[in-house]
Chains A and B, each alone.
Chain A
Amino acid sequence: QSVLTQPPSVSGAPGQRVTIYCTGSSSNIGAGYNVHWYQQLPGTSPKLLIYGNNIRPSGVPDRFSGSQSGTSASLAVTGLQAEDEAEYHCQSFDRSLNVWVFGGGTKLTVL
């Protein structure tokens, strides 16, 4: 059972917009800790996609954007492309556990 909750799967057609939500609590996201997102392509290791809630590392397309509100965060992908099909993970810090925590991951399928 992950501390952060993500839907197991989402899907969308090429060109569409999808949003992946990451729900936490008052001891992590709700406490103001940054949320970060990772993209894990099939058979590869996770890659940093968004950090500090909404900052894209160099080389990440601006089709990817992040936001945070209250005890939740979200990752939006616009103009879906086949290459976006991957597992997406959110991550934050939990002050009750005093550790970094992840969501269970969301599989994005491009129809």
Chain B
Amino acid sequence: QVQLQESGPGLVKPSETLSLACTFSGGSIESSYWTWIRQPPGKGLEWIGYIYYDGNTKYYPSLRSRVTISLDMSKDQFSLRMSSVTAADTAVYYCARAPAHGSGTYFSQWGQGTLVTVSS
């Protein structure tokens, strides 16, 4: 059973860079899309992007210019960096695993989530 755990600062200043890490265990790196999803307070879920084991990434179009997802296989960890944050980026950030089944895939395992607040 795959387990995921997010880590990182809970408070980021406006215009700075949000950095989160997700440590995973129990799953196959090669058969998964390692994914970030967020949920602003009181709102629905928003897919941010994923990284595949070969380094290929895919991002939500409106976030693409500010987001980078990277993978460190030696640490069983993948990371999210989001630059130039504003209050609109305040959300609970989840890391998740999706089976690498193409467009029809789903998010089978989730981390517990971490609240990131953007405020000065």
Chain A interface (Cβ < 8 Å from any Cβ of B): 2, 33-34, 36, 38, 44-48, 51-52, 57, 89, 91, 93, 95, 97-105
Contact = CB atoms under 8 A, between A and B. Distances in A.
10 contacts: A33-B103, A45-B110, A45-B112, A46-B110, A48-B109, A89-B44, A100-B105, A101-B47, A104-B43, A105-B43
Contacts of A52: 104, 106
A91 B43 contact: no
A98 B107 CA distance: 17
Given A34-B106, A36-B106, A46 B44 contact: no
Interface residues of B, number: 20
A94 to B, nearest CB: 9
A91 B107 contact: yes
A46 B103 contact: no
Contacts of A45: 94, 110-113
Nearest to B94: A45
Given A97-B61, A99-B58, A34 B45 contact: no
Nearest 5 interchain pairs by C-beta: A104-B44, A36-B106, A93-B103, A102-B45, A45-B110
